[in-house]
Structure 1
């Protein structure tokens, strides 16, 4: 066998790893993966501003590593995707620590201890580029050693990942007194906290496997599906077979704004806003890989009317190769065998979400819409909901104006009906925001004799009140529930 050994140039490899498209939050999430895989109970992320000497660290209280394991962890692609891993390992390619770190810093130091004996290794990219070799340094230097001493104080096990010479901040033009750049630096910390709350939400819940801290502040889990809210619609869960394993798909339709407090509504929008968070959420070993995406399925695109549709997909780590999970754990490509099923589930969820939003929109419009369109006016004032019969509705007005009627008695009847709306009974019988929402006249599309007779009464009342036949029909066409029915008014 004749061959050449075509080893990659270290400087070129570093440049390639640095250009994989990590953002700062996604890069830190990759480091947190390693901490969780090491059974850490606490992971602390520190951002310290010092101008061009600013640094970021991720410190955990996990099991730590031996010296041999540390060198392996610092070696690029020392473990490939086919390497056997523990059931809790969130890694895959063996390059996450290095690629994430090189994308954000020019100097990576890892210190680790299993039983009180701290070991340290450093990648200094300037050294790698100068000598053209993968020289993994044993001594990080005095300044870095002092930082590590602070970070490992009173600890006898765990791991510290330290980034120095940060991308975008390490330069002679960045001074410690630069307030604008400092604000930008700490804004990145806030973005990181929001991203970690989303990605590791399942780890931070009630049965928390670990706690995350960003600049001393505990990261609170973000649940994209609002599973604890009583008005969330849980559509049927499906288990889809794939190569001897199974993929779990759980669709949710979130409550509308009317069912949420303003604070809850803002929180539910997530880091990317309502439009950016609709779609599929792909999890691997409870770690969120992709948040809010329609997976490139044909005919599915982001639209405001589908903002309430969110669908959880849980894929086993054993078949993540089938999903094209990338190095950054930030994108997936669904297997061909499942795309039809996912498209079907997505379309049904989107339809239910659209209907829910439209129904809530109708209810909201009753308080602000045309006085002729709705029979009821629903308002919320001072945290109280009131239901009032619309006196301007043509049928109500006709009865009140009829000289044969006792107007005072009719008004008394209307007021009594308003004050005795059976809200409590309706709440017991009907769970809000679910598929059993009542529809006028049973949801029929064509008007039957009874509906036509009611519409005729409204039509005649409109004509008697001075409208032309055409105008009366136009009012009917815009009036609930005739706006969704076909009859003599729709021609």
Structure 2
């Protein structure tokens, strides 16, 4: 303590918790933040149960991870936990369990078992009604709570943790929470949650890398991974991967970039797969950068102001991977839903991103040309002329790629514009349609 007069000005717990409820979660992202903790606890199975019961509606999120000791459980309910996070852990600020839960409900109970040999569980409840009454950040023992007793029963088979949300004032309507609209809302939220979990945790569900795949269920249904890069499509193409070293202040590390061009509709394995891979935002808005932090997808869609969204590049998608060591450089938010690309990295990405879009644009135009009505045989060109036309188009693509790689893209755009104006036939043969 400095050699000065000082004053303890602890924040009002009631006022602070009220503000933290509006940190930016919706229901699916709040559930995903709890699943982060399950993955960090090495769970191989996570079950999300959304049980409609009017004003007594409950949400259980149960895992078979390593669980928490009574001391660790209490620390986990501290606002801004004092525990440190290891490199690669999905946690960041020590706020997720509390802020994610309280963004949806007024009461969160956590039940956990950490010993595989002894059937002993610990349970604590964080209730906003109690916090507001006492104006202190306090947790309580649930006593003989039937909902908590049910959670304890699930842990008789082994270690794990159950998070229980009750009094879901941000989910259910204040009037008639038992009505049909409330029930339909819960059903819709279950569907959206399953979709969201399949997107952000697709690498964990697939068992990417050397890890074993995990199983996540929502109301008993297994979550299907949604891989934005369509790895099972044989006509997908990939450009060479790249790695960038970045230094921001005293933080340094590497970022990996992979670039993909997905097949056009007619080359997809099936129409249903084409529609599924269009994603929740549909093809145009799903193009762009997919940013992964420790294999967890945190942001997707759009080009992060590097370039604009374009119908002709809608099949272009790229992954950016960074480790938790670079969290401060990427300025990741509490809800782990948004990042900001470091300015240094953004500059490095311009050329490879534009190169990807050049190839995606060329693939789009080739597909569009293939759909046009063919020229009648008696008016068709000879094989040699057709070969020359194809060679010219290939040359145009190579010129655009070379302009990208040499940093002369602006000059190339001026050249292309001049050709389109002064020699439109040549511009067309090179694939430079306006």
**Secondary structure of 2:38's aligned partner:** helix
- Asked whether the equivalents of residues 52 and 169 of structure 1 are also in contact (C-alpha less than 8 Å), the reply is no
Query: Superposition pairs for residues 122-201 of structure 1, below 5 Å?
Result: 122-139=125-142, 142-149=145-152, 152=154, 154-170=156-172, 173-176=175-178, 178-201=179-202
The CA deviation at 1:220 is 1.5
The CA deviation at 1:139 is 1.6
Residues 255 and 438 of structure 1: CA distance in aligned 2, closer, same or farther (over 3 Å): farther
User: Equivalent residue for 1:218?
Assistant: 222
Please point out which of 316, 319, 331 is paired with 2:326. Answer: 319
User: Equivalent residue for 1:263?
Assistant: 272
User: Equivalent residue for 2:428?
Assistant: 484
The CA deviation at 1:273 is 1.6
Residues 227 and 172 of structure 1: CA distance in aligned 2, closer, same or farther (over 3 Å): closer
Please point out which of 299, 302, 308 is paired with 1:293. Answer: 302
Residues 439 and 62 of structure 1: CA distance in aligned 2, closer, same or farther (over 3 Å): farther
Residues 196 and 394 of structure 1: CA distance in aligned 2, closer, same or farther (over 3 Å): same
TM-score under structure 2 length normalisation: 0.83
In structure 2, what is the Cα distance between the partners aligned to 1:221 and 1:131? 44
Q: Deviations over 1:302-356 (max 9, x none)?
A: 2222211111011021112101111011111111211111122221112211211
Residues 172 and 327 of structure 1: CA distance in aligned 2, closer, same or farther (over 3 Å): closer
- Asked whether the equivalents of residues 236 and 251 of structure 1 are also in contact (C-alpha less than 8 Å), the reply is yes
- Asked whether the equivalents of residues 291 and 297 of structure 2 are also in contact (C-alpha less than 8 Å), the reply is yes
Q: Deviations over 1:402-446 (max 9, x none)?
A: xxxxxxxxxxxx9xx9xxxxxxxxxxxxxxxxxxx9953533899
Residues 170 and 483 of structure 1: CA distance in aligned 2, closer, same or farther (over 3 Å): closer
- Asked whether the equivalents of residues 44 and 214 of structure 2 are also in contact (C-alpha less than 8 Å), the reply is yes
Query: Superposition pairs for residues 428-467 of structure 1, below 5 Å?
Result: 440-443=390-393
User: Equivalent residue for 1:34?
Assistant: 37
In structure 2, what is the Cα distance between the partners aligned to 1:18 and 1:50? 23
The CA deviation at 1:147 is 3.8
In structure 2, what is the Cα distance between the partners aligned to 1:59 and 1:438? 63
Q: How many residues align?
A: 386
TM-score under structure 1 length normalisation: 0.74
- Asked whether the equivalents of residues 256 and 320 of structure 2 are also in contact (C-alpha less than 8 Å), the reply is yes
User: Equivalent residue for 1:467?
Assistant: none
**Secondary structure of 2:259's aligned partner:** strand
Please point out which of 345, 348, 353 is paired with 2:355. Answer: 348
Root-mean-square deviation (CA), in Å? 2.6
User: Equivalent residue for 1:85?
Assistant: 85
- Asked whether the equivalents of residues 109 and 148 of structure 2 are also in contact (C-alpha less than 8 Å), the reply is no
The CA deviation at 1:172 is 5.5
- Of structures 1 and 2, the larger Rg is shown by 1
Residues 327 and 169 of structure 1: CA distance in aligned 2, closer, same or farther (over 3 Å): closer
The CA deviation at 1:362 is 1.1
User: Equivalent residue for 1:63?
Assistant: 66
Structure 1: give runs of 5+ residues left out of the alignment. Answer: 367-373, 376-389, 397-413, 418-436, 447-479, 487-491
In structure 2, what is the Cα distance between the partners aligned to 1:24 and 1:314? 26
**Secondary structure of 2:71's aligned partner:** helix
In structure 1, what is the Cα distance between the partners aligned to 2:425 and 2:216? 52
**Secondary structure of 2:292's aligned partner:** strand
**Secondary structure of 2:202's aligned partner:** coil
Residues 126 and 250 of structure 1: CA distance in aligned 2, closer, same or farther (over 3 Å): same
User: Equivalent residue for 2:407?
Assistant: none
Residues 111 and 357 of structure 1: CA distance in aligned 2, closer, same or farther (over 3 Å): same
In structure 2, what is the Cα distance between the partners aligned to 1:221 and 1:172? 35
In structure 2, what is the Cα distance between the partners aligned to 1:88 and 1:338? 21
